[in-house]
Structure 1
Amino acid sequence: MPAFDDEAITLRQLQVLLAFMETGNLARAAERLQTSAVSVHRALHALEEALRCVLFRQEGRNLVPTAAAQRLAEMARDMDRLLADGVRATREIAGYAADRIRMGSMYSLTSRAVPALVLGMKQRKPAVQTELVLGSNADLLARLREGTLDAALMAVPRGAADVESEPLFEDETFFAAPAQSPHAQRTEVDLGACADERFVSLAEGFATHDSFTEAFRIAGFAPQIAMQTGDIYSLMNLVDGGVGCTLLPGRMRHVLPANVRLVPLQARFRVRQTIALNFLRSRERDPNLLALLAVSRTLKASLR
């Protein structure tokens, strides 16, 4: 049989003991703990009963700690410090209120949105370092759910009830062709008349691939794919080199190769993406995420 009732000893009782030992009386301990002197006295008495030894002796109206209480307070102080260190380390590993924030982004947002958000975070929270991870929409969503990213700049994921999204801007999909292509001279492109055209595309998992697929679903045919690639800059270079045409979001107009033209699609083929700052709903009170949200709302108008 144990010499004490370990199940009856609580962290709260040890915190009450520390408060009493550090303040010297019941009233001041109660004030520190925001409770009553009666509750403090009851917690100390319960601690004695659980330990089955005397921790205090009564001298008039005062409780005087014994050597046993002094020793227990030393151990409780060590436990309190160890617990605080453990909580801090755990929250840092999880990314909560750490000195860094892990932000993911689609490749297509690195020319404007990412630098603006990183600079905004540096001004708002100078001590917080921003780490950047690039990937497809599918990769970034998986990383958010794994906890290896705190937030992700990407298209709003469909059917993701566990994800909170702060919209930044909407983007339209355009037809991208080499300057010498007949399509480049048009005011708008009839995608339905492009069945004989060669195309290049992003691989599955990218938001731009989803828009590409949706547009051709509306057009009613499967495009001839000459080549697939894993990032949007390589995709634009393939168009620049004449390998094929493609569909690109309008945000890429600022970084297009010199030989690539963006032409609007006819209205019935137009597909839009909503670009947002995305994070798990379970992390919505993280101070670093709240700061990043504030920055994104401030910059929203300039990112369109």
Structure 2
Amino acid sequence: MHNRISEEITFRKLEVLLAYMETGNLTRAAELLDVSTVSVHRALHSLEEGVRCTLFRHEGRNLLPTDAAQVLAEVARDVLRLMADGITSTRQAGGYAADSIRIGSLYSLTIKTVPTLIMGIKLRKPELQTELILGSNADLLQKLRQGLVDATLMTVPEGEADIESIPLFDDDIYFAAPVGSRYANLDFVDLSACADERFVSLSEGFATYSGFIEAFRIAGFTPNIAMKVGDIFSLMNLVSGGIGCTLLPGRVRDVIPNKVQLIPLQPKFLMRQHIGLNFLRTRERDPNLLALASVCRLSRQALA
């Protein structure tokens, strides 16, 4: 086992040593480090106690470095450089201030939200590379906690103390049916009258699926689900093909197939999704996430 290093030897004191060796003067070293001359003198004396040998000899009011001080200074340069590189590598491994950012998103948010925010972050930080990872709410939340994504665009998770969220917009859920269906001319759909209808849905873990189940709980029956799919675009195509009806968020209106109609639900069945940017509170000072958060706040009006 290596000999234990004295607590008197710290990175900060090694920086003081190098500053003094570079300037040769207590006052100039203090100015370089923005500390007092007394602090510089104490740090040098403390290093001598830590290494247990003389680093400087006095000639009048001057401190002249010994050969031991020269050796320690060379080691200090290597140690500080290696530690600085190690901290950089550690931050990059943790996604902190790296040259890329991994954004997780719901499929439905790639229509408008994702392009708007990526354009915004590119204008703010042109050098930052962006990687997009798609998934369900549950999948993205797990990836966020595992460090596989840096931030997520999804419904804001409730009661998650480790997650910081920035609201973007609220989105209502609509009844989606093939064009020309028996619901076509209704102002509002009463889900409790749809017990005999056939439905299609997203898989478990998607926010829209959770709202789907909750709406039918209020309606008082379990829907007949003909098929489940893993993305909202496939879901819309199933409705377009007449496989069944479903519930969809209003944000898909601009890309919905022309054979699909969105009809409001009766107020008692209304489901509203709160969409936001989400990231771990432990990384709230990450420069890349701060830039993305700023873009989100500026883009709220455009996304609403």
For Structure 1 versus Structure 2, the TM-score category normalised by the shorter chain is: over 0.9
Counterpart Cα distance in 1 of 2:195 and 2:92: 53
Which whole-Å deviations, capped at 9, do the CAs of 1:161-217 have from their partners, x for residues lacking one? 111111111000000000131112322111110000000001110010011011111
Q: Find out whether 1:115 has 2:115 as its counterpart.
A: yes
Correspondence 1:146-161 to 2 at 5 A: 146-161=146-161
Q: Find out whether 1:81 has 2:101 as its counterpart.
A: no
Counterpart of 1:210 in structure 2 is 210
Counterpart of 1:257 in structure 2 is 257
Counterpart Cα distance in 1 of 2:3 and 2:134: 58
State the AA in 2 paired with 1:181.
S
Counterpart of 1:131 in structure 2 is 131
Which whole-Å deviations, capped at 9, do the CAs of 1:99-124 have from their partners, x for residues lacking one? 11111100000010001111110000
Counterpart Cα distance in 2 of 1:116 and 1:216: 34
Counterpart Cα distance in 1 of 2:232 and 2:289: 27
Q: Find out whether 1:26 has 2:26 as its counterpart.
A: yes
State the AA in 1 paired with 2:182.
P
Counterpart of 1:6 in structure 2 is 6
- TM superposition shift of 1:23: 1.7
Paired residue secondary structure (2:183): helix
Counterpart of 1:188 in structure 2 is 188
State the AA in 1 paired with 2:201.
S
- TM superposition shift of 1:9: 2.0
- TM superposition shift of 1:6: 3.4
State the AA in 2 paired with 1:271.
M
State the AA in 2 paired with 1:15.
E
Q: Find out whether 1:41 has 2:15 as its counterpart.
A: no
Q: Report the CA distance shift for 1:201/1:279 in structure 2 as closer, same or farther (over 3 A).
A: same
State the AA in 1 paired with 2:96.
Y
Q: Report the CA distance shift for 1:282/1:4 in structure 2 as closer, same or farther (over 3 A).
A: closer
TM-score normalized by structure 2? Answer: 0.97
State the AA in 1 paired with 2:300.
K
Counterpart of 1:273 in structure 2 is 273
Q: Report the CA distance shift for 1:155/1:43 in structure 2 as closer, same or farther (over 3 A).
A: same
CA RMSD of aligned residues (A): 1.5
TM-score normalized by structure 1? Answer: 0.97
Runs ≥4 residues deviating over 4 A: 2-5
Q: Find out whether 1:67 has 2:79 as its counterpart.
A: no
- TM superposition shift of 1:52: 2.0
Gaps in structure 1 of 5+ consecutive residues: none
Counterpart of 1:296 in structure 2 is 296
Counterpart Cα distance in 2 of 1:138 and 1:5: 47
- TM superposition shift of 1:5: 5.6
- TM superposition shift of 1:20: 0.8
8 A Cα contact 1:208 1:249, kept in partner: yes
Greater CA drift, 25-34 or 247-256? 25-34
Which whole-Å deviations, capped at 9, do the CAs of 1:52-90 have from their partners, x for residues lacking one? 222111111100111221121111011111111010111
Counterpart Cα distance in 1 of 2:54 and 2:237: 81
Q: Report the CA distance shift for 1:71/1:175 in structure 2 as closer, same or farther (over 3 A).
A: same
Paired residue secondary structure (1:6): coil
Q: Report the CA distance shift for 1:60/1:88 in structure 2 as closer, same or farther (over 3 A).
A: same
Counterpart of 2:286 in structure 1 is 286
- TM superposition shift of 1:4: 8.6
8 A Cα contact 1:176 1:263, kept in partner: yes
Counterpart of 2:241 in structure 1 is 241
Which whole-Å deviations, capped at 9, do the CAs of 1:2-21 have from their partners, x for residues lacking one? 98963432222211111111
Counterpart of 2:95 in structure 1 is 95
State the AA in 2 paired with 1:164.
E
Which whole-Å deviations, capped at 9, do the CAs of 1:209-247 have from their partners, x for residues lacking one? 011011111111110010111111111111011110000
Paired residue secondary structure (1:278): strand
Which whole-Å deviations, capped at 9, do the CAs of 1:28-50 have from their partners, x for residues lacking one? 11222222212211221121122
State the AA in 2 paired with 1:293.
A
Counterpart Cα distance in 2 of 1:92 and 1:139: 23
Paired residue secondary structure (1:35): coil
